[in-house]
Structures are given as structure tokens and as C-alpha cells.
Structure 1
Amino acid sequence: MVIYILRRLLALVPVVLIMSIVVFLIIYLIPGDPARVMLGDGADESTIQELRQQMGLNYPLLEQYGRWIGNAVQGDLGRSFFLQQPVSTAIREHLAPTLSLALFAQFIAVLIAIPLGVRAAVNRGGLADKTLNAYSLLGISVPGFLLSLFFVLVFAVRLKWFPVSGYAPLHEGLGSFLKFMFLPALSIGIVMSSLTARIVKASMLEVLHEGFVKTALSKGLRQNTIIYKHVLRNALIPILTVVGGSFGTLVAGAAVIETIFNIPGLGQMLVHAVERRDYAVIQGMVLFIAIVYVAVNLAVDLLYAVVDPRIRLQ
């Protein structure tokens, strides 16, 4: 198991290195001088040169990358020109809302997808299967931001069951946290569950035809025991893959939902950084999100070995 983990970690080194190069070059993909773009056309030349010096743009490109990646390894992602604080500090301050939203939305997605996908596989062609097809079509067709606006109109504006926008951290009470977080999490969770449910159904159908299922039935085991204890466990590999990928997408793609519901998370901070041309924040955020993707994929790989010991032996 230890060797398996070490191999996976070593395989991630070149991936992270390539990602860091791409993230570093973001600042050079913008037309014009980055310092001049940040300060605007009305800035005087001395101020522009001072900012260029602060950003390290006067050094050769290779040296700039070496300085940037060296500082990033130590946790220093630069300093925000507009926030007047280190980028790493800004990320820590905005991480909790985004992480809470992603975890809550993922919980809702799994809570919907697994029972629906399992029932659709067991009763193929029946009501549950038709319901899944209609639900999946709805989830694929309707984007999360449009669904969130509908929820705001119905449940917040008209019924007044939930607040229109805002955020309450968990330490202020579970009730307040759920009140503010339920609608945005439900908006994303429904969209994510539509794909996950289809993967659950497809994976379950493959395992249901295995010989051990017939053996379990001949022994007189209860259907629910066979389905949830034996079949679902053997079908978990594709499900883990899509759940892990969707969680990374939730962390990276929460910008629109956080803007609609005014949640002070990473997505909202990234939107503001793009509007202000705050390149240090943009670089730091993109690098952080890329590392989150890598970490989630690594966690999924390790879960493969837990779910299926044959992967660990390989």
C-alpha cells in the first residue's frame, strides 16, 4: 500500500510542474503590459515601473518563474495589489464558504443519485428507470445558475422560506448555516446528481449480470442485501471516479453560484480578481484549484485500493 501511494505521488510531480508553468504564463497571455493594465491608462510611468518592480516583471522570464515557483512551494503565492494582503491569506479566508458549498452540494448529489440509479438499474424499463431518464435530461439541459435563479424566485422571494442571498458560517449555528446554504447547494447538487445517477445505473447493470449475484439469490439472501452490500460495492469504482471529478468541478466552478447568492468564497474572489486584473490573485487561485483537482484525484485513486484490493496488488 505504501509503495502504491509513493508511485501515485511521484506520478503527480510532472503534472504539478506542467500546471505551474501554464498558470505562471497566464499573466503573459494578456495583451499589453500587465502593470499598465492593472493601473489603467491614467497612471504615470513612475508608478507603473514601481509596480513592475513589485511584481518582478523586470527580471528575465525564466528567473521570474524560478522566483514564483520557489515562493509558491513555501506557501507564498504573492501579494494582492487590491486586497493589500498575501494571496495565500486571502485564499484561506475565502476557502471555508466554497468548501462548505462543495461538500453540501456533493452530499445532496450522492443522496439523490445513488438510490435513484440503483432503483433504475434493478427495475430497468420500469417507473424508476423512466424517472431517471427524465431527471437526467432535466439536469443536463438546465444549467445550475438558471436553476438557482428559479429557486430564489420561488423559495426565497415568493414563499420566503430561505434568504435571497448571504452566508452564515457553521460556527454561528447549524440552522443559520443550512438556511443560507441550502438553495445554492441544491442548485448545484441537482445538476451533479443527474450525471452521477446515470453512472450508478450503468455500473450497477454491469455487475447485476455477474455470477455471484445469481449465487447470492440461490442462497436466499434478501434482495436489498444483495444490491447494497454486494452489487453496489462492486460497482463503486466508476461511481467514485465521477464523484471525485464532480467535487473538483464544484470547487472550481462555484463562481457563478457564489456570485448569485453573494457567498464570499473562492469563486466570488476570483471573479473580482478578474474584474480588477489582480494577476497575483488569479495566478494563485488557478494554481490552488489545480492542486485541489490533483489532490482529489489522488484521494480517489487511494479509495480504489480500499474498495478493490486487486488494484492495490497491481
Structure 2
Amino acid sequence: MPIFILRRLLALIPVVLVMSIVVFLIIYLIPGDPARVMLGDGADESTIQELREQMGLDYPLVEQYGRWMWHAIQGDLGRSFFLQQPVSTAIAEHLAPTLSLAILAQFIAVLIAIPLGVRAAVNRGGIADKVLNAYSLLGISVPGFLLSLFFVLIFAVKLRWLPVSGYVPLQDGLGTFLRYMFLPSLSIGIVMSSLTARIVKASMLEVLNEGFVKTAWSKGLHPNKIIYKHVFRNALIPVLTVIGGSFGTLVAGAAVIESIFNIPGLGQMLVHAVERRDYAVIQGMVLFIAIVYVAVNLIVDLMYAIVDPRIRLQ
């Protein structure tokens, strides 16, 4: 197992290196001088030159990348011109709401998808299978933001069971925290669960046709033991892939939901940075999100090895 982990970590080095180069070059993809774009046409030349020096744009390109990468390795992602604080500090301040939203949405998605997908596979063509098909069609067809607005209208405006928007940190009380996070998490969780449930069903159907499952049935084992211990465990690899990918997507793409529910997370911060052309924040955010993707994929790889030991041997 340690050798397997070491190999996976070494394989990530070139990925992170290429990723860092692409993120660094973001600032050079815009037309014109980045400092002039940030300050606007009305800024005088001395102010523009001062900002160029602060951003390190007066150094050669290769040296700029080396300095930027060296500081990034040490956790210094630059300083926001508009927020007047280090980018790493801004990310840390906005991380908790996004992470809370991603974890709760993932929990809701798994809670819905796994039982529904398993039942649909075991009773193929039955009521559970038809429910899954209708549910998946609904989840794929209806955008998350539209579902969010519908939930706000019903549960917040009409019934007044939950708040319309806002965010309360967990340390202020679990009940209040869940009241504010339930609607945005449910909106994303339903959309995610529709795809995950279909993957669970397809993977389960594939394993159900294997010879060892037929042998288990012939031995007279309890149906639940066959389904959950033998079939579901062997069907987990594609499911883990979807769950890991969707979690990374959640961290990266929660901007719309955070804007609708006024959640001060990473997505909302990135939207504001793009509007203000705060390139230090954009660079730092994109690099952070890319590293999250890499970390999630590494965790999924390690879970593969736990679920199926044959992967370690390969």
C-alpha cells in the first residue's frame, strides 16, 4: 500500500507542474496591460507602473513564473489589489461555506442515489426502475438554479419554513446552520443524485450477471448479503469515480447557487474577482480549485485500492 500511494503521488507532480503554468499564463491571455486593465483608462502612468511593480510584471516572463511558483509552494498566492489582503487569507475565509455546501450536497446525493440505484437494478423493469428513470430525467433536464428558485418559492416564501438566503457558520449552532444550508444543498444534491443513481444501477446490473453472484444465489445466501456485500461492493468503482468527480465540480462550480442564496463562498468570491479583474485572486482561486481536483482524484484512487485490492497489485 505505501508503494501504491508513493506511485500515485509521483504521478501527480507533472500534472501539478503543467497546471501551474496554465494558471500563471491566465494573466497574459487578456489583451493589453493587466495593470492598466485593472486600474482603468483614467489611471495615471505612475500608478500603473507602481501596480506593475507590485504584481511583478517588470521581470522577464520566466523569472515571473519562477517567483510566483516559489511563493505559491510556500502558500503565498499573491495579494489582492481590491481586497487589500493576501489571496490565501481570502480563500481561507471563504472556504468553509463552499466546503459545507459541497459536503452536505454530496451527502444528500449519496443518500438518494445509492438506495434508489440499488433497488432499480435489483427490480429491473419494476416500480423502482421506472421511478429512477423519471427522477433521472427530471434531474438532468432541470438546471440547479431553477430548482433552487422553485425551492425558495415553496419552502421559504410560501411555507416560510426556511430562510430565503444567507449563511450562518456551524459554530453558531448546528440547527441554524442546517436551516440556512438545507435548500442550496438540496438543490445541488438532487441534480447530482440523478446521475449517480444511474451509474449505481448500471454498475449493479453489470455485476449481477457475474458468475460468482449466481453461485451465491445457488448457495442460498440471504438476498441482502448478496446484494450489498457481494454485488454492491464490486460495483463501487464507477460509483466512486462519479462521486469524486462531482465533489470536485461542486467546489469549483457552486458560484450560481452561492449567488442565489447569498452564500459568501469561493464561487461568489471568484465571480466578484472576475468582475473587478482582480487577477491575483483569479490566479490563486484557479490554482486552488485545480489542486482540490487533484487531491480528490488521489483520494478516489486510494479508495479504489481499499475497495478492490487487485488494483494495488496492478
* TM-score band w.r.t. shorter chain: over 0.9
Task: Describe how 1:236-247 pairs up with structure 2 within 5 A.
Answer: 236-247=236-247
**CA shift at 1:218, angstroms?**
2.0
Structure 2 equivalent of residue 9 of structure 1: 9
1:50 aligns with 2:50: yes
TM-score under structure 1 normalisation? 0.99
Which stretches in structure 1 are left out of the alignment for 5+ residues?
A: none
Structure 2 equivalent of residue 24 of structure 1: 24
Structure 2 equivalent of residue 95 of structure 1: 95
Task: Describe how 1:263-278 pairs up with structure 2 within 5 A.
Answer: 263-278=263-278
Structure 1 equivalent of residue 289 of structure 2: 289
RMSD of aligned Cα (Å)? 0.7
Counterpart of 2:7, as a letter, is R
Task: Describe how 1:77-156 pairs up with structure 2 within 5 A.
Answer: 77-156=77-156
Task: Describe how 1:53-72 pairs up with structure 2 within 5 A.
Answer: 53-72=53-72
d(CA) in 1 for partners of 2:154, 2:270 = 29
d(CA) in 2 for partners of 1:176, 1:230 = 40
Higher mean C-alpha deviation, range 192-201 or range 213-222: 213-222
Structure 1 equivalent of residue 191 of structure 2: 191
SS at match of 1:30: coil
Structure 2 equivalent of residue 313 of structure 1: 313
Counterpart of 1:31, as a letter, is P
Aligned length: 314
d(CA) in 1 for partners of 2:132, 2:32 = 50
d(CA) in 1 for partners of 2:171, 2:277 = 33
d(CA) in 2 for partners of 1:285, 1:234 = 37
**CA shift at 1:211, angstroms?**
1.6
d(CA) in 2 for partners of 1:76, 1:217 = 58
**CA shift at 1:127, angstroms?**
1.0
d(CA) in 2 for partners of 1:18, 1:198 = 34
1:299 aligns with 2:299: yes
SS at match of 1:97: helix
Deviations 1:255-308 (A, max 9, x none): 110111010111111011111100000000000000000000000000000000
Structure 2 equivalent of residue 227 of structure 1: 227
TM-score under structure 2 normalisation? 0.99
Task: Describe how 1:249-260 pairs up with structure 2 within 5 A.
Answer: 249-260=249-260
SS at match of 1:221: coil
SS at match of 1:59: coil
d(CA) in 1 for partners of 2:237, 2:187 = 26
d(CA) in 2 for partners of 1:68, 1:301 = 30
d(CA) in 1 for partners of 2:9, 2:45 = 46
SS at match of 2:79: coil
**CA shift at 1:223, angstroms?**
1.2
Structure 1 equivalent of residue 208 of structure 2: 208
**CA shift at 1:219, angstroms?**
2.2
**CA shift at 1:21, angstroms?**
0.5
d(CA) in 1 for partners of 2:13, 2:227 = 39
Deviations 1:11-66 (A, max 9, x none): 11010011101100111111111111111111111101100000001111111111
d(CA) in 2 for partners of 1:132, 1:242 = 17
d(CA) in 2 for partners of 1:291, 1:239 = 22
**CA shift at 1:236, angstroms?**
0.4
**CA shift at 1:222, angstroms?**
1.7
d(CA) in 2 for partners of 1:223, 1:173 = 42
Structure 1 equivalent of residue 165 of structure 2: 165
**CA shift at 1:100, angstroms?**
0.5
Q: Which runs of 4+ in 1 moved over 2 A?
A: none
Which stretches in structure 2 are left out of the alignment for 5+ residues?
A: none
d(CA) in 2 for partners of 1:31, 1:169 = 40
d(CA) in 2 for partners of 1:59, 1:265 = 33
d(CA) in 1 for partners of 2:42, 2:223 = 73
Higher mean C-alpha deviation, range 281-290 or range 40-49: 40-49
Counterpart of 1:266, as a letter, is L
Identity of aligned residues (%): 88
Deviations 1:117-170 (A, max 9, x none): 001101111111111111111111111111111111111111111101001111
